[in-house]
Structure 1
Amino acid sequence: MDDIPRVSEVLYVGLCHEIGTPTEVTVRRDVEDMKEMIKKPVEIYRGDRSMLSGSYGEGFRFKSSDMDIMYWHCHHKLISDISQARLYDRTKHDIILMEDSDTPPGFVKLQILTWPRKECIASSAVRVNDKVYMSSFLHQQRAVKVYKESKSYQRVTSHGPSANSYIGSTEYDHVLCIAGTHWPELTLPWIERCFRYTWPPEPVLEEILKNGYHCVPVGSKIDSSGIILEWRLSFSQAEQKLVSSMNHTQFLVYGLLKIFLKEILNHGVEEPLLCSYFLKTTVFWMIQEGSVEWRPNNLLNCFWKCFRYLIHCVNLGAFPNFFIPQNNMFINKVVGAARTALLERLDHYYDMGVSCLLQNPTLRSILEPALSSLTFVIPSAEGHIKAVLDLDSTVRREIMSYRFLTTDLLRCHFILLSTIDKLSRLSLSPYQTLTLQYCTAEILICTAFMMVNSTSNNTCKNVYRLDRIVCNMLKLASRVGPVSHLLYLALYYYRTGRYNEVLCVTYLTKQRLSQPYIMYHGDYVDRQRYSEAVGSLSLSRKMNTAWVENVTLMSEIHYIDELILEQEVSKQNDDGILIISPFVLTDMLLVLSHYRLGNRSQYLQSLTDLQTLLLNDVCRYVQSHLRGLSWQILGICQHVVGDLHGALHSYQESLRQEQFHNIKTATEKRIVFVER
């Protein structure tokens, strides 16, 4: 590959489409930042904080990436010097002293100075001579136990500091950690180094220092006798900020290294020695060192210098942690015969040069056109451009992937509304504004139904006033949210017996859902019609005109009588929500409302429409994981109108589908009702 600049530009553009353009990465980060701003006051009120870490939190969207989530309690106060204890009220806070005098660099022990009131700390306490310490082992095992007891998670195992589990095919790593804002003395050289090399920029560094760090429950494994007490210093929050401060070439090189590691270097290796954290650290060192020119037409050279640094570290058997260089992350890991085998593998790819990237099918498809034709050139500017629909799809997917915790919506909806009111007055990016708008609609819907469920004063005046408030809130939610949010108003009308109003809202929704420019999920949208209909509109108007999402029913809230059984079973199985395709719910409400009004021909037609949808759809209108509940809903409608044979068939079909909602018990009960 002699023509490095030209091929680098081609690879830059290809990686923009595989990993993300600058705009797409900005969308991901802006949306995550807004979600963080919305949930933070609620978490502080609740006393428990969380953050999304790992690749997803950094802005990558690899299909194989798991979800890494860190949790910590606000009332734990971690200090690095005994004099800092005076800053906190011992009657309100658990004071924990971090000790690093007799632990390997990057690892600490946590001494409990005040006997903890919280069970999560007390259950991890062990006495050593005349002191009490937190056991990292016991703390980590507690997290594993919590997730094993939850019916929502499957295949829960212990994995390093985390409790590893699955929900469906999605892998989760949950880490219960201790947060600190008093930076340990070991990190002072890193802070000085950042100022000296001017990376990260000073504002980023100040934010990093303000946000602090964590201790995660895993030992060094250097001395097996002490690992039960050792905790590893984690700088995940700082690393996220560092990744966010990268320019796009740096971000793509980091992504390219991750692809190279997973799909080339570690491909077919049962127990790989290298992990993506080493690659991230490599990029950090290379950026701060300042010897690499991070430009699109120099991307291959950037990759190669990072690769050479990695080989150099394996050769030495030493890989310095970016924050605490004394911490050799290869110790007791990249050693002996395994290190020799790894070095041989690395040397093999080094001898191939950057053509080693051709071992990966995706990278080969990007590079081969440039290698086979000396005149093949893609202007790097194209890497910044995607079709309007593709970018809108990214925005929609990022925003609508967020789910508030059910407990937060139920108990803290007024805090959330207050937070949204304050945030709406700030200067926000377009993507942050849209995220805030979507979350506003979600919270309004929850608050409206909560008000209905919690009312105890049933005088005519109060009922009328409450009804007017609820209707206004649901109408406002439908005006600022996606198209499918209209169905919550229809649900409320159905619950209150206004079947003609249900039909009016539902037919309007059905008409809007039938438009060819509707964006629901996947690639099922007429690209030309979408561009013509909403391409020139603002993001807010696009969401309200063309974007659709599933309808979510929380198990603690009563929506309609016909789904109470499913909600109760879902709640018993710790699921908390029912997720329904809006196309299914639309037909369900039409069937039930026409039936209540005695419109026989209309409810039979709507019933036929629903059955036809489920028989003929190939996951365009009903995603595969929602088909079980969808067949159940068809059975409920058939049962209500008196078609017991059809209902039995639909319930049986529901049992044959993927049991995403874990409502098998409800289905079996309905079968018993039909067969009586």
Structure 2
Amino acid sequence: MTLEIKFNDTFHFNSTKCLKLKIDIKNFQQSVSSKMDSGNTTHRRRCSESLSESVFIGLCKIHELGTPQQLAMRRDIIEVMNIVQNYLEPNKRNFLWCGSHGEGFRFVESDMDIMEWPTNYRVFWERSQIQYNNTKRFVPILTDSSESPPGFTLLWLHVPIPEAHSCVLFSSLRMKERLYISSSKYIEKKLLQEPTCVKHGPCTLNIMEVPRLEIDHAHSFASDLWPPSASSWIDRCHMWPQPHVVDDIIRSGCHFVAIGHKLGNHENNEWRISFSLAEQKLVFSMNHCQFLTYGLLKWFLNKVINCQLSEERKSLCSYHIKTAIFWVLQENIISQWTPQNLLECFWVCFKLILKWVYEGVCPNFFIPENNMFHTNIHGGSQDALFIRLYTLYERGLSCLFQSPSIRYYIMNELCNPRLPFCINESTLMHDPVFAMELFQEIHENATLNTLDLISFIKALQKIEKLAYSLLTNYHIVMLQNLSAIILQQTAFSFYNLLHSSIYMYNDNNKEIYIFDKISCHMLKMAAKFGCISAKLYLAMYHYRTCRYREALSVIERTKVG
């Protein structure tokens, strides 16, 4: 499929009105003509660039988006946590922090998306692929896409499975002399295993009260192989992304999430082919202007397009936005993505979305035959969405004024047109503010779900291995804080063990002394490379072991430090 976007495409709405949609920013320039010399093209271009630069700086300062430094820090912290948590997971599962949070955004209204899949299963596209893999480590699953729409498939078990695999056994049903895994039954079983969760599309939604957080768990199976139906994507990768990114994506394979096509023959049993990992790698490969354009589109969707709409009427979603910017990047519609043309980049993407809504076709980036508007944007909902978007289009880029945050930065430039452009990160975010966010990110993400001593030892072993790999400064800070947390929890686990019923009447003072020394040593190590609070854990331990002088001494040293 070749996606062509021309600078003056013509559309017909209700067969009567001819709409000439131009991918430029003349509408906005005219709306602020009092600030520009309409007879001077160079001056107009500079004004446009100046406005884009102002919005670029403004988006960097918005916490939900952030600077390149903030973005690197957020991603590195999640990467470390993802590696350590997957290593410790006792139930043969892997996790991937995906969605907006995993990409580096911090939108307040967004929930946290986590994809999980069992590591003892692998999906294959053909039987011949199974013989080249070690099936002793996993149970092979095969696909059957013969009766499924593009982007969807059925999954069936190639070999009998043990009774221990209760979730898959519960979800299986016999069709066409094969044992298929039903996506709807699989979610039902997951809900039985997690009674605090509710069904949310292909996910189970867990709502945490403290802190207030909604976590979507997307249940899936993994394949190490690239889907044959997405082979055309590889052929399209001439300009973007870079070859090493393409190779990395192909090696990573894909996933199958538990949801079927609403208009398919097997809606309750089908699985959707998911490219969440590939999409995350593509977002990571963006430069900061491209990322902020993506963020501005998401911001515009939430604050303007879907503003005051009920959940049922929000037909356009952030995944459509992501797909649009992927297509624009790959088709090389914009030759340079710089702060000076950020608004033009936004306008090109917005215009493409408008074109898709008019045509009723949103081609999936990896499998273009999969029209993602097919089930929810058609008929009356399509007309209503098009009118809403076209109304915004008619206003030109001044439609961004409907977002108070963006309006502030644009008006700031209009009122102070001679402010110098500067993207020095030290001026965009002061060090104390960045340090505060850094430790907030660590605090929110450095949580371990296991409490037993064996898991603590495994975690320390994994951290020790990671310490010898190529690390960024944020990786190191995260590993240091994780180590401090593990040492603290291990020390207090020893304390609880000593005061449990096993040792309450044990007269072996030497053994108690050894455990006490080990605990103190761990807490002192944690205090060396942990936060200030790590020293207070040592004071707390001294207090609980009735060494009040030592506890006060640690507190005094902490004050001085």
Q: Match for residue 127 of structure 1?
A: 174
> Does 2:207 align with 1:166?
yes
Distance across 2 between alignment mates of 1:143 and 1:4: 52
Aligned partners of 1:115 and 1:122 also within 8 Å: no
Instruction: Assess, with a 3 A threshold, how the Cα gap between structure 1 residues 446 and 258 changes in structure 2: closer, same or farther.
Output: same
Aligned equivalent of 1:460: 509
Distance change >3 Å, CA 408–CA 296, structure 1 → 2? farther
Of 131-140 and 114-123, more deviation after overlay is shown by 114-123
User: Partner of 2:281 in structure 1?
Assistant: 241
After TM superposition, list the pairs within 5 Å mapping 1:376-391 onto structure 2.
Answer: 376-381=419-424, 385-391=428-434
Cα distance in structure 2, aligned partners of 1:143 and 1:316? 38
What are the within-5 Å matches in structure 2 for residues 208-227 of structure 1? 208-223=249-264, 225-227=265-267
Distance of aligned partners of 1:88 and 1:384 in 2 relative to their CA distance in 1, 3 Å threshold: farther
1:75 paired to 2:117? no
1:409 deviates by 5.5
Q: Which residue of 1 aligns with 2:303?
A: 263
- Deviation of residue 433 (structure 1)? 0.8
C-alpha distance in 1 between matches for 2:484 and 2:301: 42
Choose from 1, 5, 8 the match for 2:52.
8
Query: Is the contact made by 2:224 and 2:254 (CA closer than 8 Å) also made in structure 1?
Result: yes
Q: CA deviation at 1:78?
A: 1.1
Measured in 2, the distance between the counterparts of 1:439 and 1:55 equals: 24
CA distance in 2, matches of 1:444, 1:411: 13
* Deviation, structure 1 residue 90: 4.7
Does the residue aligned with 1:109 lie in a helix, a strand or coil?
Answer: strand
Q: 2:348 aligns with which of 297, 301, 305?
A: 305
Structure 2 residue identity aligned to 1:217:
A
| 2-structure distance, mates of 1:441, 1:393 | 18
Q: In structure 2, do the counterparts of structure 1 residues 376 and 499 end up closer, same or farther at CA, with 3 Å as the change threshold?
A: closer
Distance 2:274 2:452 in 1: 31
Give SS of 2:445's match. coil
**Distance (Å, rounded) in 2 between the aligned partners of 1:383 and 1:235:** 36
Matched residues, percent identical? Answer: 37
Aligned to 1:291, which of 322, 330, 333? 333
SS in 2 for 1:273: coil
2:102 to 57, 61, 64: 57
Change (3 A) 1:53 1:269: same
Q: 1:381 to 1:503 in 2, by over 3 A?
A: closer
CA shift, 1:380, in A, is 4.0
- Aligned twin of 2:77: 31
- Secondary structure of the 2:370 match is coil
User: 3-state SS of the aligned residue for 2:395?
Assistant: helix
**2-structure distance, mates of 1:408, 1:498:** 26
Conserved 8 A contact 1:370-1:377: no
Residue from 87, 96, 107 that aligns with 1:41:
87
1:323-370: CA deviation from partner (whole Å, max 9, x where unpaired): 111111010211001101111111111110000000111111111122
- For residue 529 of structure 2, the aligned residue among 459, 466, 480 is 480
- Name 1:366's counterpart in structure 2: 409
Q: CA deviation at 1:448?
A: 2.3
Aligned to 2:486: 443
CA displacement, residues 252-271 of structure 1 (integer Å, 9 cap, x when unaligned): 00000001111101111222
SS at structure 2 position matched to 1:406? coil
Shift of 1:71: 1.1
Choose which of 417, 424, 446 in structure 1 pairs with 2:467.
424
1:478 CA drift (Å): 1.1
Cα shift at 1:33: 1.8
* Structure 2 match to 1:278: 320
Deviations 1:188-243 (A, max 9, x none): 1112222x33x2222222222222221001111113x4111110011111111110
Asked if structure 1 preserves the Cα contact closer than 8 Å seen for 2:226 and 2:254, the reply is: yes
- Deviation readout 1:421-444 (Å, 9 max, x if unpaired): 111122311111111111111111
Runs of 4 or more consecutive aligned structure 1 residues displaced over 6 Å after TM superposition = none
Confirm or deny that 1:109 pairs with 2:150.
no
Shift of 1:383: 8.5
Any conservation in 1 of the 2:61–2:428 contact (CA below 8 Å)? no
Q: Match of 1:22?
A: 68
The answer as to whether partners of 1:409 and 1:443 remain within 8 angstroms in 2 is: no
Shift of 1:84: 1.9
Aligned-partner Cα distance in 2 for 1:216–1:340: 30
Paired residues of 2:60 and 2:428 also in contact (CA < 8 A): no
Q: Are positions 1:142 and 2:189 aligned together? A: yes
Aligned length: 502
Which residue in 1 is equivalent to 2:242? 201
Give the drift of 1:172: 1.7
Shift in CA distance, 409/441, structure 1 to aligned 2, threshold 3 Å:
farther
Counterpart residue identity of residue 191, structure 1: I
| Corresponding residue number in structure 1 for 2:143 | 98
Q: CA deviation at 1:89?
A: 4.9
Q: Check whether the contact 1:106–1:327 (CA below 8 A) recurs between aligned residues.
A: yes
Take 1:8 and 1:24, find their aligned partners in 2: how far apart are those partners? 21
CA distance in 1, matches of 2:544, 2:449: 21
| Inter-partner Cα distance in structure 2 for 1:355 and 1:39 | 46
Q: 1:353 aligns with which of 360, 375, 396?
A: 396
TM-score by length of 1: 0.71
CA contact (8 A) 1:49 1:74 kept: yes
Separation (CA, whole Å) in 2 of partners of 1:408 and 1:110 = 36
CA distance in 1, matches of 2:193, 2:385: 38
Question: Are 2:183 and 1:183 aligned?
Answer: no
Q: Which protein is richer in helix relative to its size?
A: 1
Check 1:298–1:92 CA distance in 2 against 1; reply closer, same or farther (3 A cut).
closer
| 1:229 and 2:269 matched | yes
Write the deviation string for residues 144-173 of structure 1: whole angstroms up to 9, x where unpaired: 3333x24xxxxx432210112311232221
Instruction: Tell me the TM-score normalised to structure 2 length.
Output: 0.85
What is the CA–CA distance in structure 2 between the aligned matches of 1:482 and 1:161, rounded to whole Å? 39
Q: What is the correspondence of 1:519-668 to structure 2 with a 5 Å cutoff? A: none
Give the SS at the match of 2:363.
coil
| Letter matched to residue 138 of structure 2 | H
1:452 Cα deviation after fit: 4.0
Contact 1:136 1:218 in 2 (8 A): yes
Unaligned 5+ runs, structure 2: 1-27, 30-46
- SS of residue paired to 1:318: coil
Q: CA deviation at 1:87?
A: 3.7
Q: Which residue of 2 aligns with 1:323?
A: 366
Gaps of 5+ in 1: 151-155, 513-544, 546-676
1: CA distance, partners of 2:346 / 2:379: 27
Q: Secondary structure at the match of 1:177?
A: strand
CA–CA distance in 1 between the matches of 2:351 and 2:526?
A: 54
SS at match of 1:204: helix
Q: CA deviation at 1:384?
A: 6.7
User: Partners in 1 of 2:400 and 2:467 — Cα distance?
Assistant: 46
Q: Which residue of 2 aligns with 1:501?
A: 550
**Letter of the 1:286 counterpart:** V
Contact 2:224 2:252 in 1 (8 A): yes
> Does 1:395 pair with 2:444?
no
Match for 1:49: what amino acid? Answer: N
Aligned counterparts of 2:528 and 2:144: Cα–Cα separation in 1: 55
